[in-house]
Every structure is written in C-alpha cells, then in structure tokens.
Structure 1
Amino acid sequence: MERISEAEAAVMAVLWDASPLSAQDVIKRAPAERGWSANTVKTLLARLVAKNAVAHEEDGNRYLYRPLVARGDYVDGESRRLIDRLFGGRLTPLVAHLAERDALSNEEIAEIEALLKGLKS
C-alpha cells in the first residue's frame, strides 16, 4: 500500500471506528477541529480508494466506504518506519530517548516493565 498522509489517516480513523460509511457520514464524524469541507473529505476518500487503503461500493446514489487496511497493520507499518528512520531500526534507543527526556510517566514505566516481564516468561 502507498503511504497515507496525516489527513488521510484521520479519515481512516473514522472508518476504523465504524464502517461502511457514506461520505456524508465520514464528514459528520471527521474531527471538527480540522474544519474540513465536504469536498475535502471526498477528495481524501478518493485518494484512499486510489491507494487501495479504502474500498467503496454503490448504495443507491451514494458510495459506502470501508477500510481495506486494518488499524493494527497501519500502526505496525508506521511504527516500523519511525523506528527505522529515527533510530536505525532499533527500539531501545527510542525508549532511552523518551526516558532521558522525562517523557515517560511512572505509570508508563510500570507498563513497560510488566510488558518486558511478560515477554521474558
């Protein structure tokens, strides 16, 4: 699949939460702070269809859209790209960077510790 933009990802998030949806439904559910017009949302949907990230089917005089890419698969790919681009493909430097910047709360540290314990057993 071709990479999707941040705006396209926001449309995907709407479709991952509920689908199939018409363009009008996506417009209603799109984040209000984006201030998108109906034409903008329709353009983003068309791009996602062209990228094979979204499928559409006719439903009377409208199309219904549904994601072809699972949210987990998208997150996996974007996470891998970030780690590859910024940390040479290694996760440890990312965690170290966050820890050094005090970006991890005590709760997050406890979650990481629990995750590591689970992976060891």
Structure 2
Amino acid sequence: MANIPKISESEWEVMKVIWNKNPCSANEIIKQLEDSTSWKPKTVKSLISRLLKKNVIGFNEEGRTYYYYPLFDEKECARQESSSFIKRVYNGAAKNMLLNFIEDNKLTEEDLDDLKKILNDRD
C-alpha cells in the first residue's frame, strides 16, 4: 500500500470532486461544492493548496488556469483510511469493527448474501 498522507474530512470533499472529474480547475471544484457546503471560494482554494503540499494532487497549467488531478486513486485512499480507522478505534481488530457494524445496522437479506459471498470467496 502506498504511503498516502492523512487527508482531513474537508480535504476528502475536495478529493471526491477531483476523483469524479479530473482534471478540474479550482472554479469547477468550487462550483461542485457550493451546494453541499457553505465554504467560501478562498476556503476551497486553501484546501486545494493543502492537498498540493501533501502531494495528494498534482496540477497542469494551461494559460492562467490550473487543472488539478489526483496522485492516488480513490480506492487506495479509502483502503488506507479504513486501515487507519480500524487501528485507531478497534485496536486493529477488523472482526470487532464488522461485528459492531452488523449488530448496529439493519442489514437486508441482499446485504447478508453479499457479505456471505465475499467471505466465501476469500477461501
């Protein structure tokens, strides 16, 4: 697994836009986030700057516009975040996390069938 820098919750929101539409400009990111957040354009640009400093995104310059693209794919980042969460909250025991999740959530028969299939395919 690549060593991906820690991404904050706010940075995740920016990354979701970049993963969904890349490359994209700061203005495109701002426009995508304006309905789901109350962030000012300056806030979004600060988040982009932080992601650049962390080397999570890169950019290409076309004229006076910067187009941002991810340096890690979404699945890699989600996998690392999941691993970090399990270590922090469940002392690394994925079983405890799964049991907690299953006990606290109403799973449909389809959900249960999918989980069984995943577990059976691991053999």
Q: TM-score, normalised by structure 2?
A: 0.89
Corresponding residue number in structure 1 for 2:115: 112
Query: How many angstroms does 1:103 deviate by?
Result: 4.3
Deviations 1:45-82 (A, max 9, x none): 01100000011121101111111111011011000011
Q: Give the CA RMSD over aligned residues.
A: 1.4
Which of 43, 50, 61 is residue 47 of structure 1 equivalent to?
Answer: 50
Aligned to 1:60: 63
Match among 32, 35, 38 for residue 38 of structure 2: 35
Mapped partners of 2:58, 2:90: distance in 1: 34
* Corresponding position: 1:82 with 2:110: no
State the identity as a percent.
31
Aligned residues: 120
Q: Which runs of 5+ in 1 are unaligned?
A: none
Three-state SS of the structure 1 residue aligned to 2:92 is coil
CA distance in 1, matches of 2:64, 2:119: 52
Name which structure has the greater RCO, CA cutoff 8 Å, separation 6+.
Answer: 2
| CA shift for structure 1 position 33 | 2.4
User: For 1:108 and 1:9, how far apart are their aligned partners in 2?
Assistant: 26
CA distance in 2 between counterparts of 1:5 and 1:20 reads: 21
Letter in 2 for 1:71: E
Query: Bigger CA drift: 6-15 or 30-39?
Result: 30-39
Among 16, 27, 34, the alignment partner of 2:19 is 16
